A and B are shown apart, each in its own frame.
Chain A
């Protein structure tokens, strides 16, 4: 029976003829079929994936050059455009919609011979921390099906967690890759803002959104990142810096790094003591290994979540204006007396509760009379955070943080208390506010049996060091 280990190992099995892409895809299709109760996928492209696998097998056997992701089975969060395939953001608003074009990241995956096996469930328009806000229904955590997988990229996390694909793409606006990775016990990486083109990623909050990668191990994540990173003429916010991510990033493992952590974060009243203990233990270990680990005082802890929600909902309220039922998407069957009513019908029925809540919140904070008190203030907080972060990285290589104050919640546990839910984003939104690269490493197990991880943040565009230390931390495990 096929056992997936890593892309590198899979490629050597393909090359020595032990496995084929076709059989591999079949294997995953069966797994997806038998894991339907997890509800991780919104669409599975079975025939197409098999056909492509067959084509790739032919290509390899006829000794044509093969791509860096040859035969790698990948799932996409249902907010990433794939030409002529459904693109719905798990919303009634876009149910039945098919994209006319592919995201730049998808084009790059396909150019390196990847196989897209399907689209993954998520919170509607990537808004949520539990993957309970989906028109397709909630996703279950494969480690404990009475618990949520985290969100918003819950389906993508579970797809890797349950072995339904090799790697998957998600999107991370405030932790939507790292938090579900934490809840599901897989690696989840959000690179520096602008590293991966956002062209073809449904916008939630443009200045925060970043495509992220789920995988079982660091080399897989590194390889996918290497493929999909880079400047893009279609996204003017994509970074012009070309990153070099040599496959041999592990070479620097002997290097001694300088770590910091925020005392205010680890001592925060909301943090589960077990998580705190586990991270302190890792800190001790790093010190023992000769790394420098020093706490810094971080006085902004309590401003992070409010600033994040003011700015992201403001951008979202505008980004989601295009879903009006005029050119595509949900159109209400109710007769409309006038244009206003037409919009109200379409949008009231097409969007779910959480999305509407955030649109209203965002509209409010941008309204004249409130703009300065909320939007401008939040921008000032963001500015201060960026300055502070730059200052921190003058002295340190990495910041260590938890991903979430607690392990995966029980289903329905927090759905009635949106503020409590938002506050649980306290550790992940920092990297989005500052645009820094961040990774969630599945290093720990809670007494409840649930996995949880360590979040490592590096300075902007220093993905190489981040992957390097991640590999080391994972190997130490």
Chain B
């Protein structure tokens, strides 16, 4: 009911609901969420994202310490990471390769002459007192990422992608009186991807990040795990009246540790900002933090503090120049990306949009399908097997496709057994598939015979079963003959049941019709 009230009234509710939020009763929160989706038609949300992508190199950007996540605090800390006197950085070439790979995949312009700069500021988790970054001269300029929202495609323009080193972690909640510093992450290579303010809804932001995560995984440059912080996102959000050429004052929201939270934060902020405009309040340029506990944001820094980072070229690293050959070499290592695979599946393999999208969610899954269809032309049944039984197996066992025990060749045989009518799909997926998983080296046909699972299409064997079923359902037989032709399915089902699913339904069907029509 309240949803149809004018905006001013809704604001009232909104504020009231908001005042409850700090205590966060769950039902109020749900109530609030319901409101939040309502942005008056007259407004438009403008979103730009900054995505930090932690590169999955073995070692850090400027030294040989492991770049991996999850070790005991301060165990990946050589004198170089600790910024001991006299230590120097040395460039990790792999990180440059990954940056170029990402840039090429996003159709960026790759900068040939590159150098690093120092961004100077003091913080305890920044050992050198400066961050080595490409802030002023990104390795990848421009570029775009194609997303699909509500069936519509859109190119999200990128401003840049640049390389920089990560800072350590400040842990404020480990000890009461102290902030604890873990420098394992200090110096881990990061790509910072900055979009233009091109996104217009939380759904678009969601789709963009999902696409980026898929992309980094396809490229193998990052594990894309937002919860562990290997992909992090800050959202710049503003609202304006539709048609207004000016961008509204923006708010930057940090601490977004999942794609869903990015979506939620944008939704919350958009409503908050629209409400401020509706009340003729001035929007302050703020940095806000997302509270995942109650889905709200709170201000951490009022307007931009006048930070002067005193960028200057990093004198400890020589500029690095990329050759065309190097860039071409990297280009050749880029695998077919989701868009390309989807196009191929749809056009060449005649798959549905749904199948194509599920198959390409993960590169390895799609790779398996590609390997599978080298062994069979049954593209659609193969896709059904992948999105059905194989996916179910992955979900139930919690395994990745890499751990799937059956070879594509074996899977291809299994699929053709069904298509050739030797096995029903339900027997194949319900029983033979299980037996094969337990015994993956076995020939599927041999196993089906051993287990006595092959479909019965011998009329002489099936005739007694058909006779039995008809004899025990005399009433229904009469009804059928009087015109209730729909009962045929019931008879088939009964025969199938008595054959323990092995009867070939087509043969049973023919046999039944013959008997029923001749009675």
Contacts and interface: CB of A to CB of B under 8 A. Distances in A.
Interface of A: 79-81, 87, 89, 94, 97, 99-101, 103, 198-203, 205-207, 233-237, 314-315, 317-318, 320-322, 324, 326-328, 339, 343, 363, 366-368, 371, 375
Contact of B90 (A100, A236, A363): A236
Nearest to B124: A326
Given A236-B316, A322-B129, A343-B122, A87 B88 contact: no
A339 B123 CA distance: 8
Interface stretch (B77-85, B228-236, B496-504): B77-85
Interface in B63-98: 79, 82-91
Given A99-B84, A367-B310, A206 B315 contact: yes
Interface string B297-321: 0000000000010101001111000
A211 to B, nearest CB: 11
Nearest to B181: A326
Given A87-B86, A99-B84, A201-B86, A366 B122 contact: no
B127 A322 contact: yes
B369 interface: no
B254 interface: no
Contacts of A234: 88, 90
Nearest to A320: B129
B451 to A, nearest CB: 62
Given A206-B316, A234-B90, A236-B318, A322 B83 contact: yes
A328 B81 CA distance: 13
Given A198-B88, A322-B85, 17 more contacts: A80-B86, A99-B84, A101-B79, A199-B86, A206-B315, A206-B316, A236-B91, A237-B315, A317-B310, A321-B128, A321-B129, A324-B122, A327-B83, A327-B127, A328-B84, A367-B308, A368-B308
A81 B88 CA distance: 13
Nearest to B80: A234
B118 interface: yes
B315 A315 contact: yes
Nearest to A366: B310
10 contacts: A81-B86, A100-B79, A198-B88, A199-B87, A206-B316, A237-B316, A318-B129, A327-B127, A366-B120, A368-B310
A467 B375 CA distance: 73
Interface of B: 79, 82-91, 118, 120, 122-124, 127-130, 181, 308, 310, 312, 315-318
B128 A339 contact: no
A87 B85 contact: yes
**Top-8 shortest CB links A-B:** A321-B129, A206-B315, A366-B310, A207-B315, A322-B83, A200-B86, A202-B85, A81-B86
Contact of B130 (A318, A326, A327, A371): A318
Nearest to B307: A368
Nearest to A205: B315
Contacts of A199: 86-88
A43 to B, nearest CB: 15
A327 B182 CA distance: 11
Contacts of B123: 339
B312 A318 contact: yes
A321 B120 contact: yes
A366 to B, nearest CB: 4
A99 B85 CA distance: 8
Contact of A375 (B89, B124, B312): B312
A236 B129 CA distance: 20
B386 to A, nearest CB: 47
A326 B308 CA distance: 22
B88 A236 contact: yes
Contacts of B89: 236
A315 B79 CA distance: 21
B7 to A, nearest CB: 42
> Which of A99, A207, A321 neighbours the largest number of chain B CB atoms within 10 Å of its CB?
A321
A94 B85 contact: yes
A203 B86 CA distance: 6
B128 to A, nearest CB: 5
A366 B79 contact: no
A339 B124 contact: yes
A322 B90 CA distance: 18
Contacts of B308: 367-368
B85 A81 contact: yes
Given A201-B86, A324-B129, A318 B316 contact: no
A234 B88 CA distance: 7
Nearest to B183: A327
Contacts of B181: 326
Nearest to B126: A321
A236 B318 CA distance: 6
A318 B118 contact: yes
A314 B86 contact: no
A201 B181 CA distance: 27
Contacts of A203: 85-86, 88, 316
B79 A236 contact: no
A309 to B, nearest CB: 15
Contacts of A100: 79, 84
> Which of B85, B89, B90, B123 neighbours the largest number of chain A CB atoms within 10 Å of its CB?
B85
A362 to B, nearest CB: 9
Contacts of B317: 236-237
Nearest to A103: B86
A368 B128 CA distance: 21
Contact of B310 (A80, A101, A318): A318
Contacts of B312: 314-315, 318, 366, 375
A318 B88 contact: no
Contacts of A326: 124, 127, 181
Contacts of B85: 79, 81, 87, 89, 94, 97, 99, 202-203, 322
Contacts of A366: 120, 310, 312
B10 to A, nearest CB: 42
A326 B170 CA distance: 13
Contacts of A80: 86
B428 to A, nearest CB: 58
Nearest to A368: B308
B88 A235 contact: yes
A264 to B, nearest CB: 29
A105 to B, nearest CB: 11
B33 to A, nearest CB: 37
A339 to B, nearest CB: 7
Contacts of B83: 322, 327
Contacts of A79: 85-86
A367 B120 CA distance: 11
